[in-house]
Amino acid sequence: MEITITHKTKKRARTIFLLALPAMMEMSLNTMVGLADTIMISRFIGKEALAAVGFSNQIIFTLIFVFSSFNAGATAMVSRSYGEKNRMRMNKIMSENLTINIILGFLVTFFTFFFAENILNVYDITDTVKNFGTIYLKYIASGQIFMFISFASAASLRGAGDTKTPMYITGSANILNIIGNYCLITGFWIFPQMGVAGAAISTAFARFFAAFFYIFRLLKNNGKLKLKLVWMKISRAVLKPLLKLSYAAAVEQFFMQVAFFINGIFISSLSTTSEASFRILLNIESISFMPTIGIAIAATTLVGKHLGENNADESLKNGLTAAFIGTLLGSSIALIYFIFPGFSLSLFTNEAEVIKSSIKTLRLVAFNQIFLAFVVIMTGSLRGAGDTKGAMYITVMRLWLVFIPLSYIFVVKNNFGVAGVWMAETTSFLIFSIIVFKRFINMKWAQIKIFE
């Protein structure tokens, strides 16, 4: 479907951008923490510690993203209820989803703490890297439950069209995390020098800070959402549609994170320099990814909201407009990497060997952003429409039919090193950008019933 630049299109783009802007700012601040961690750990401790934290975070986010998948269903349900102006149902969905996340958060915290060393055994890493990773996992475990609370709260707020509150809370927590990292990694002022453990403690405390203020915000009765203890009891009326929408997201996240996990094993077979290069490139890619995530959040909310208003055509137009805006913004940032790869890399590390080995790969990363942005925003639109199964099929097939096989061939068999990862990823996004576009414009998602 062609999007003509009319007054309505401009108004639609403005709405998407204004809703996405706080989310983009939030993602920017999230990325700042990742960048600050990478820079401080790389410069103050070393590339072994950087590789260890990278592998540890891969494990942590595998667990978190799989088990917090209820939030995808919650966002779709809240946004649909928001469009229908059903405030009571919005609040019950938010409260019960929070209860589920708290339970799952305790389970993940327990597992991470007691099985830290065993988990790292799957990687082919040196003893030094493994020791750093075990320390990091043990300390970071205490913050897992708070991350689940934050994710659940933010998902509901975004579904209700409030992207500003997550921005303020996450932004504040991330600034606190950056300051804490510097103090506890280096031993600045009165603080002890704790290295990798300090980075983990600072992050865990920042997550507690964020969770506290999310709960405080939801307990106040001055917004669209209101948390009450009586509504936190899990009911069939909410759990059934939440499971129906979320199980596909959980399956998607499971296969996605396992794919990243396996790809991490491919990377662990390379040198420590290559491992450090991979982590730095991921952080650099996350900068150009920020607009994409923000626009995808806006698309999810608006597609669901307009369906709640029985306006499927407007949902379609918002999804397509969001994909165009996000792709344009992501590509603009990626252009900088393509033209100035050496300078971009020098901001993260002063090790000449790492910079030299990463320059050509960074240009591949830049090219990948065009297709990545389009696919991510289109799948976000499908989730907003309640088509979590469609998003699942697209993601799982992209990863397991194309990305993982090609990554193995390029990285392990043909020895292309880290560059092989982005060769595989670019190919997978190119193919599935066509598939996700066709699924979205056929509009079968307009017939999906979330509530009986």
- Give the separation between CA 366 and CA 426, rounded to whole angstroms: 10
- Give the separation between CA 92 and CA 195, rounded to whole angstroms: 43
* Residue 3 pLDDT: 45
- What residue type is 402 in one-letter code? V
- Delimit the domains of the chain by residue range: 7-447
With a CB cutoff of 8 Å and minimum separation 6, the contacts of 63 are 108, 111, 112, 144
pTM here is 0.73
One digit per residue, pLDDT tens: the chain, 452 residues?
A: 444 566 677 888 888 888 888 877 776 766 666 666 667 777 777 778 877 877 777 777 777 777 777 787 888 888 888 888 888 888 999 999 999 999 988 988 888 888 877 878 877 777 888 888 888 888 888 888 998 999 899 989 988 888 888 889 988 988 898 899 889 988 888 999 888 888 889 988 998 999 999 999 998 866 678 888 888 898 888 888 888 878 887 888 888 878 888 888 888 788 877 877 887 888 788 777 777 888 888 898 889 888 888 899 999 999 999 999 888 887 887 888 888 888 878 877 777 777 887 888 888 888 888 899 999 999 989 988 889 889 999 999 999 999 999 999 998 888 888 889 999 999 999 999 999 999 999 999 888 877 65
Q: What's the N-to-C CA distance of the chain in angstroms?
A: 31
Looking at residue 142, the DSSP 8-state letter turns out to be: G
* Region of residue 386 (phi > 0: left; psi between -120 and 50: alpha; otherwise: beta): left
Query: 3-state class of 311 per DSSP?
Result: coil
Question: What DSSP string runs through 292-308?
Answer: HHHHHHHHHHHHHHHHH
Let me know: does 312 contact 304? Beta carbons within 8 Å. no
* Residue 420 pLDDT: 92
Looking at residue 385, the DSSP 8-state letter turns out to be: T
* Region of residue 443 (phi > 0: left; psi between -120 and 50: alpha; otherwise: beta): left
* Residue 251 pLDDT: 85
Distance of CA 448 to the CA centre of its chain: 26
